[in-house]
Structure 1
Amino acid sequence: MNNVNLVGRLTKEPELRYSQSGKAVTRFTLAVNRKLSREKKQEAEKNNQPTADFIGCIAFGVNAETLANYISKGNQLAVTGHIQTGSYEKEGQRIYTTDVIIDNFTFIETKKSDNADKEEGYFPVDNKDVPF
């Protein structure tokens, strides 16, 4: 069974392109934190060791267009999909690739500006103002 579930943050803006046949393709990288205790994470950071893995992801069709239009660098995203490996020739050397092909996704958190709630008509409410 080839099934992948990831939760991570986008490392940069997603790249939306269209194939020659007109199919949407979006590529992005998710930074997925490693499962480390607080102490081991602090120790790894102190020693300049990685605390996250950077995983290449690809979405096609409607998923590709939706992701490209609604997510950006720093957003947290949950994805499910499957691993696909491949290879290509570059400057006489064989390059091997491993990507997660996205089947489904869930927006978990987006970074909003401080005024985003006010712009959408939402204002903070003091509980003392609520009549019930």
Structure 2
Amino acid sequence: MTNNYVLLNGKLSRDIEVTKNDKGNSFVKFCLICTRDGINSYSDYINCIAFGEIANAICRKGEKDTAYHIEGNIRTNSYEKNGKKNYSTNVVVESFRLLDA
């Protein structure tokens, strides 16, 4: 059991496509819009990334506004761009399912 576990329900913010890295491995980056319930409801835009067969499967129905249930873990990363260190946080998708519209 891991302490780093995320469950999200939301809709894709845009159409998505599978990309291949230099080694030929499939991945997809996408943003999931998750609306919070309550009187002053608002939406969180959660950056997600999926790899391999999961990436290919998500893209089969990867149109904007498609609703998904996502399970995964939070992963932080750092990279250099223009001589400056940048940080990112993504949910790495371990499993998913389509939600009814």
Note whether the superposition's TM-score is higher than 0.5.
Answer: yes
SS in 2 for 1:70: coil
Tell me: CA distance 1:71–1:109, structure 2 relative to 1, closer, same or farther (3 Å).
farther
1:77 Cα deviation after fit: 0.5
CA distance in 1, matches of 2:52, 2:11: 22
1:11 Cα deviation after fit: 0.2
Bigger CA radius of gyration = 1
Structure 2 alignment gaps of length 5 or more: none
Matched with 2:11 is 9
- Moved runs in structure 1, 4+ residues, more than 4 A? none
Deviation by residue 1:26-64 (Cα, 9 ceiling, x = unmatched)? 111000012323xx23xxxxxxxxx11100111111110
Structure 1 alignment gaps of length 5 or more: 42-50, 111-132
Higher strand proportion: 2
- Give the count of matched residue pairs: 99
Higher helix proportion: 1
CA distance in 1, matches of 2:45, 2:68: 13
1:66 Cα deviation after fit: 1.0
Matched with 2:36 is 34
